[in-house]
Amino acid sequence: MKEYDFRTVPSTGTPSNTYWGVKSWQNNAPAPQYVFNDSTAWIGNAANLVVTTRNSNSGTQQQGWCAGIQGCDPWGVCATGGSTIIKTASNSNSMFTGLPVIPKVGGVEVSTINVECFAGWFSSSAPGASGPQYANILINFWYKHKTQPRALVIDFAIGYLVRSGSSWVQRTDVPVGGQYSGDHIIANNSGLTTYHYAYCLQRMNSSNTIYFLQTDVKPVVLAAFNSSLFNNPPSGIPAIGNRTDYDWVGVEVGAEIDTSTQAGTGTLKVAIQKCRVDW
């Protein structure tokens, strides 16, 4: 079983399938700041996601996110529609109906969960002299508890950028094959206890270059559910529980920027040629 490509390479025109929607989100912003263009040519034809965030109040943190999505997130925003969907998919991917955390073939859990992705970022992206601090190019796996208000997101970083003057540069202080931030829990995230696990799959050292990623992420998924913090949380927060009590409900691939507490405006422009998960 496979997810459908965000764009088959090579390709022209609109995405080669109808299963991907486009999701956007920004907190504390006076208006949405997203652009999605699925027909702009750049190193072949790619689906281009542009995220802009701005922060007029240096005492607040702002984040912007724009991504292709298949399936749903745990709050019911789906590729086929929802409050933050800016481009709807015309078909829903039935693969995500009752899909276990570790899929099974013939009643047996698969040995690998493979991620394949072609993506890159534009040199024309600019954080601004005093704008966003960080930017990420991510693949997200979403899991939702079958009966309890709990969810897990695994953020797979394939590009992990930081502001350097008026440009983005690839961070090198986080190892490929390691976590790029500590595990954390949001106790009431719009009604759900949300467990966050962040893992660095790849670096994108140069702009205007398409990077190819192909790797097995099953060990990372298992590690997330075995997190010490998630299984031994602070008082008053439920433990994550057994992975067999969760469904894998969606996948996203996109771009995120974060102003930290700096006032200013910045952008991140990303091209995604292809993203696929198989086993």
Q: In the prediction, which pLDDT does 182 show?
A: 92
> Is residue 21 predicted with pLDDT exceeding 90?
no
Rounded mean pLDDT, 103-113? 92
The predicted-structure confidence for 238-264, as pLDDT tens digits, reads as follows 999 999 999 999 999 888 888 777 777
Residue 51 in contact with residue 266, Cβ under 8 Å?
A: no
The predicted-structure confidence for 167-186, as pLDDT tens digits, reads as follows 889 988 878 999 988 999 99
Return the ∠ at Cα 268 (arms to 141 and 198), rounded to 5°: 30
The third-level CATH classification (topology) of the domain covering 21-278 is Jelly Rolls (2.60.120)
How much is the mean pLDDT over the chain?
82
Q: In the prediction, which pLDDT does 262 show?
A: 74
Highest mean pLDDT among 87-101, 115-129, 143-157, 207-221: 143-157
Q: In the prediction, which pLDDT does 215 show?
A: 94
The predicted-structure confidence for 28-54, as pLDDT tens digits, reads as follows 554 445 555 554 433 344 566 777 777
Q: In what order do the strands lie in the sheet with 34-37?
A: 34-37, 47-55, 264-278, 114-121, 211-216
Q: Domain limits of the chain?
A: 21-278
| Pairing status of strand 246-258 against strand 134-145 | antiparallel
Rounded mean pLDDT, 85-99? 81
| Pairing status of strand 134-145 against strand 34-37 | unpaired
First to last CA, the chain: 7
The predicted-structure confidence for 131-141, as pLDDT tens digits, reads as follows 788 888 999 99
Q: How far apart are CA 72 and CA 132, in angstroms?
A: 28
101 or 212: whose pLDDT is higher? 101
Q: In the prediction, which pLDDT does 276 show?
A: 80
